[in-house]
Amino acid sequence: MTVIGYIRVSTENQDLGKQRHLLLEYAYQQKLSIDEFIEVEISSRKNQRERRITELIDKLKSGDVLIVAELSRLGRNMLETLNLISALNEKEVQLIFVRQPELSTTASHAQLLLAIYSYFAQSEREFISMRTKQGLAAAKARGQQLGRPKGSRNRQRPLDSFRDQIEAYLHSGLSIASIRKLINPHLEKTLSYNSFKYYIHNDSQLKPLLENGQS
């Protein structure tokens, strides 16, 4: 039996090392030994070859185990994700999602849950993309300067890679709580409401965008 860990990150603030640690920790708890890692630093919108999906399928055989952090690391849309899972099932490969154990192929009702999760993961990506474009277009139409203000710190913070999305959401009238709910699933570590609030309030261009009544 071969155990492979598949790791993919798609934004600058995500860390391959964090996913590797998560998979190794799970393997240790389950008394498994990961024989190989397939690591990819690339956007989910790249093709399967660039994301090493084809290589992954070719490596796995009946009885092998594939460990992934979560469903969103596998496919770029619902159809691709389900096709990949179907191919792995046909090869009798055990698929484990560390953060979503209810989706692992050994769990009951896993196929139905996988379809549901895939659908919502794809819908969320499309929604975020749409709202970001709408918000930035509206800001540009009002003649507002986009991007981080001059003189802002150079050290990368967890929310820096999502700043444009946060700006777009604020332009669209979303609350801090709503923004947190949309962005947290895409972070390696969940951030509190106060972390989002602090980030926005300490950005001279984001703070004025808060609706009246928000603190």
Of 78, 107, 136, the last residue of a domain is 107
Residue 186 lies in a domain: yes
Same-domain status, 181 and 142: yes
CATH code, domain carrying 86 = 3.40.50.1390
| 103-158 pLDDT, tens digit each | 888 776 677 666 666 666 666 666 666 666 666 677 667 666 555 555 555 567 88
Residue 10 falls in the annotated catalytic set = yes
Q: Is residue 158 part of a domain?
A: yes
Instruction: Identify the domain containing residue 157 by its residue range.
Output: 127-209
Whether 81 and 22 map to the same domain: the answer is yes
How much of the chain, in percent, has pLDDT values that exceed 90?
25
Structural domain ending residue among the three candidates 45, 79, 107:
107
| pLDDT at 213 exceeding the cut of 50 | no
Calculate Rg over the CA atoms of the chain. 19
Pick the catalytic residue: 10, 43, 108, 123? 10
Instruction: Let me know if residue 215 belongs to a domain.
Output: no
Residue 188 pLDDT level (bands cut at 50, 70, 90): confident
Q: How many CB atoms lie within 10 A of CB 141?
A: 8
